[in-house]
Chain A
Amino acid sequence: MRFTGDKVFKVLVAVIAASALAILIITGYTLSVGSMPVLQKFGLNFFFGQQWSPAAGREIFGLLPYILGTLATSGIALLIGVPLSLGIAIFLVEMAPRSLRVPISYLVELLAAVPSVIYGLWGLFVFRGFMVTYIETPISKYLGWIPIFSGEPGGLDIFTAGAILAIMIIPTVASISKEVISSVPNSIREGAYSIGATKWEVIKRWVISYGRSGIFGAVILGLGRAVGETMAVTMLIGNATSFSAMPTSLFNPGQTLSSLIASGILDASSPFAYSAYIGAGLALLFMSLIINVGAHFVMTRVFKVKGGAIE
């Protein structure tokens, strides 16, 4: 009796595990079939072209500006979000008194529960004005000669979108990093202190180093959210298309793959244009896969650790 139960359970779990793979394959297949018309017409130019015109008779579709836009916004999100998240995690585990630790980590996790449209609205009405007045205008005044800071800051641009993404990935990265850091055995810390290391040295050399694969996994999860995030980005990135969407300056309007799909697919003018938006979805899926596989590769080969995304 017990034996059969185990067998049934084993099969059941195997089926559930297989369904994860199946969903990925089915999604990839559906997107490939849906984007066939546009891929047949443009081939690789679909991924490396810069023009996007859904107007009947002038239809031409190229994804390069949006692929680069996705990389740019996600990159900014990581640059701003990861140091902040690590700071939060280290503070909570290594320094905060117990009475602060619980409420703060609870608040950080609460940030993850805020729906992205709320971040978008807040970004549009509050954060955008703050960015323009206190960050973008001073940067453009003193550093405007650097190409990536050129142009007139208007607040609906790649930088604002990246900054809001940074805020959105903080709860993910911070709370996982916190778990990773607190799982570092105390014996490691005690050993380090006993040979005369300062707190800073302990954190830098031993704690972070011990938990690096887990922290890296947290960063990858954050990156995954940044790459796919749609609603808040669509509301803040300025939705440029074609040549004007090339992310040449952080203060220019841009577009990511997901915001392109969100703003155009519902009223695509023709089945052909529709297939171009499906193709953008395919590109987004590929990008996410490449980023995740690449991250895994970096982790195993460069950091020389084994295992899955999170340890």
Chain B
Amino acid sequence: MNTKYVITIVAIAIIVCAIVAITYTPVEIVSLNGAGASFPFPLLSSIITKYQDSNSYVEINYNPSGSGAGISALTDKTVDFAGSDASLSISESEKAPNVLHIPETIGSIAIAYNVEGLSSGLKLTGQVVADIFEGKITKWNDPAIAKLNPDVILHSATINVIRRSDSSGTTYIFTGYLSAASSSWENNVGQAKSVEWPVGIGASGNQGSAQTISSTKNSIGYVELAYALQTDMTFAAVQNPSGNFILPSLDSTTVAAQAVASLGLPAGNENWSSVNLLNADDATAYPIVGFSYLMVYKELNVIDEMTQARATELVNFLWYVVHDGQDLAIDVDYASLPSNVVDINSATIKSITFNGQQVLT
């Protein structure tokens, strides 16, 4: 009885295996690996999902480990592409020469707040925001805030400043804006992915910041626009160089990138460290904006595991991200690239080579 039982089971197992073996036709899976900025991750993952629908033999992994980690991985050549919210600094490009910058989306940083009875649209200037984050303005009814918002009733509550505790591209763009707005901020704190914060509660990640602002009364903080929109936060209108108070939106973000790009951007293989979308020269542009980049080597054979097939798929994917992929941006609350930036990206992607041969055909 028992032996029969075992034999039956073994027989079934063999038959199942045989069926699987006969019907299985191996497909050559090409897998591409990327790592870096967490900010564009929701957009990238929806682009990757869509791309794999029509290219099922390609497997693309993107690890949102942070801009800094992405650049290190690209420098060590352990990934095929990296994502970063900050362009390569001079010293970083020396360690990773011939890296192309491909702006793939535009980040916009909302000054979000949680004050009872205060809806979106509180007017703030860069100087006031800098003073709040430097601890110089500590009350919500400070004359500097009241002067900008004569129609709003402000309470004497203490401002709870919420900022990022981790190293982040969002912080890099935000502190860059504060440095431009306030000389005191520039001298005492400066611009970096992680700075010496004079005041505030630290929260980890955009998600963590958004959660902490929402759960802390009388708080103010900065979060990536997509997170602010998706979690229904209230956020401030910030004064741009034309003197207009602009609410962050996908449109006012794209406009900023367009205005800067129309003055000329570097080619993909040039140095992008001077590119700055902050305080763009357009009356309707939101001032706290920055590119998020994908980065790849211009000559792909520097990566050990690179093959012609992988190089082709990588370039096809990058092409998809900056063209068709941009149509997906609005669904996930990301700003799409203006056409003049797409043109620069097209030229950049065409310049990618493998063993000296242009990859894109």
User: Which residue of chain A is the closest to B203 with respect to CB atoms?
Assistant: A239
- Cα-based distance from A51 to B195 in the complex (angstroms): 11
Does B66 count as interface, using CB distance less than 8 angstroms? yes
Q: Are A263 and B216 in contact, with the CB atoms below 8 A?
A: no
What string of 1s and 0s marks CB contacts (under 8 Å) between A230-244 and chain B? 000010001111111
What string of 1s and 0s marks CB contacts (under 8 Å) between A261-274 and chain B? 00110111100000
- Cα-based distance from A56 to B219 in the complex (angstroms): 29
Which residue of B157, B167, B196, B201 is within 8 Å of A269 (Cβ)? B167
Q: Are A264 and B194 in contact, with the CB atoms below 8 A?
A: yes
Q: Are A152 and B158 in contact, with the CB atoms below 8 A?
A: yes
Which residue of A154, A239, A240, A267 is within 8 Å of B66 (Cβ)? A267
Q: Are A242 and B202 in contact, with the CB atoms below 8 A?
A: no
Which residue of A51, A54, A155, A243 is within 8 Å of B194 (Cβ)? A54
In A245-296, the 8 Å CB interface with B consists of: 253, 255, 263-264, 266-269
Does B160 count as interface, using CB distance less than 8 angstroms? yes
- Cα-based distance from A100 to B211 in the complex (angstroms): 41
User: Which residue of chain A is the closest to B212 with respect to CB atoms?
Assistant: A156
What string of 1s and 0s marks CB contacts (under 8 Å) between B181-199 and chain A? 0000000011111111111
Decide: A238 near B69, CB < 8 A? Known: A154-B160, A263-B166. no
How would you classify the secondary structure of chain A's contact residues: helix, strand, loop or mixed? loop
Does A119 count as interface, using CB distance less than 8 angstroms? no
Q: How far apart are B133's CB and chain A's nearest CB, in angstroms?
A: 12
Q: How far apart are B274's CB and chain A's nearest CB, in angstroms?
A: 17
> For residue A58, which residues in chain B have a CB less than 8 angstroms away from its CB?
190, 192, 195-196
Does B68 count as interface, using CB distance less than 8 angstroms? yes
> For residue A241, which residues in chain B have a CB less than 8 angstroms away from its CB?
165, 196-197, 202
Q: Are B192 and A242 in contact, with the CB atoms below 8 A?
A: no
Interface size class of A (residues with CB under 8 A): 20 to 34
- Cα-based distance from A212 to B132 in the complex (angstroms): 52
Q: How far apart are A23's CB and chain B's nearest CB, in angstroms?
A: 29
Which residue of A52, A129, A240, A263 is within 8 Å of B204 (Cβ)? A263
Q: Are B198 and A244 in contact, with the CB atoms below 8 A?
A: yes
- Cα-based distance from A177 to B211 in the complex (angstroms): 39
> For residue B65, which residues in chain A have a CB less than 8 angstroms away from its CB?
266-267
Does B287 count as interface, using CB distance less than 8 angstroms? no
Q: Are A267 and B203 in contact, with the CB atoms below 8 A?
A: no
Among A57, A124, A238, A268, max chain B CB count under 10 A is at A238
Q: How far apart are A127's CB and chain B's nearest CB, in angstroms?
A: 12
Does A55 count as interface, using CB distance less than 8 angstroms? yes
Q: How far apart are A244's CB and chain B's nearest CB, in angstroms?
A: 5
Which residue of B68, B69, B201 is within 8 Å of A253 (Cβ)? B201
Q: How far apart are B130's CB and chain A's nearest CB, in angstroms?
A: 16
Does B268 count as interface, using CB distance less than 8 angstroms? no
Q: Are A156 and B216 in contact, with the CB atoms below 8 A?
A: yes
Interface size on B, residues (CB 8 A): 35
Q: How far apart are A153's CB and chain B's nearest CB, in angstroms?
A: 10
> For residue A152, which residues in chain B have a CB less than 8 angstroms away from its CB?
157-158, 160
Q: Are A266 and B196 in contact, with the CB atoms below 8 A?
A: no
User: Which residue of chain B is the closest to A55 with respect to CB atoms?
Assistant: B192
Does A53 count as interface, using CB distance less than 8 angstroms? yes
- Cα-based distance from A60 to B166 in the complex (angstroms): 17
How would you classify the secondary structure of chain B's contact residues: helix, strand, loop or mixed? loop
In A72-124, the 8 Å CB interface with B consists of: 124
- Cα-based distance from A244 to B193 in the complex (angstroms): 19
Q: Are A267 and B68 in contact, with the CB atoms below 8 A?
A: yes
Q: Are B201 and A267 in contact, with the CB atoms below 8 A?
A: no
Q: How far apart are A242's CB and chain B's nearest CB, in angstroms?
A: 5
Q: How far apart are A120's CB and chain B's nearest CB, in angstroms?
A: 11
Q: Are B167 and A244 in contact, with the CB atoms below 8 A?
A: no
Q: How far apart are B259's CB and chain A's nearest CB, in angstroms?
A: 29
User: Which residue of chain B is the closest to A253 with respect to CB atoms?
Assistant: B201
User: Which residue of chain A is the closest to B192 with respect to CB atoms?
Assistant: A55
Among A60, A128, A243, A253, max chain B CB count under 10 A is at A253
Does B126 count as interface, using CB distance less than 8 angstroms? no
Does B200 count as interface, using CB distance less than 8 angstroms? yes
User: Which residue of chain B is the closest to A156 with respect to CB atoms?
Assistant: B201
Q: How far apart are A62's CB and chain B's nearest CB, in angstroms?
A: 11
Q: Are A269 and B202 in contact, with the CB atoms below 8 A?
A: no
Q: How far apart are A251's CB and chain B's nearest CB, in angstroms?
A: 11
Q: Are A269 and B194 in contact, with the CB atoms below 8 A?
A: yes
- Cα-based distance from A55 to B202 in the complex (angstroms): 16
Q: How far apart are B110's CB and chain A's nearest CB, in angstroms?
A: 21
Q: How far apart are A133's CB and chain B's nearest CB, in angstroms?
A: 11
- Cα-based distance from A266 to B35 in the complex (angstroms): 14
What string of 1s and 0s marks CB contacts (under 8 Å) between A119-151 and chain B? 000001100110000000000000000000000
Q: Are A240 and B200 in contact, with the CB atoms below 8 A?
A: yes
Which residue of B167, B192, B198 is within 8 Å of A264 (Cβ)? B167
Q: How far apart are A273's CB and chain B's nearest CB, in angstroms?
A: 8
- Cα-based distance from A155 to B196 in the complex (angstroms): 22
What string of 1s and 0s marks CB contacts (under 8 Å) between B313-325 and chain A? 0000000000000
Q: How far apart are B85's CB and chain A's nearest CB, in angstroms?
A: 12
- Cα-based distance from A53 to B198 in the complex (angstroms): 10
- Cα-based distance from A308 to B135 in the complex (angstroms): 50
In B31-65, the 8 Å CB interface with A consists of: 65
Q: Are B201 and A154 in contact, with the CB atoms below 8 A?
A: yes
Decide: A253 near B200, CB < 8 A? Known: A154-B160, A269-B68, A269-B167. yes
Sample 17 A-B pairs with CB under 8 A, ordered by A number.
A52-B196, A54-B192, A54-B194, A54-B196, A124-B211, A128-B215, A152-B160, A154-B160, A239-B202, A240-B201, A244-B199, A244-B200, A253-B200, A264-B166, A264-B167, A267-B166, A268-B167
Additional pairs, 11, CB under 8 Å, beyond known A58-B190, A267-B69: A54-B194, A58-B196, A128-B215, A129-B215, A154-B217, A239-B202, A241-B197, A244-B135, A264-B165, A266-B65, A267-B166
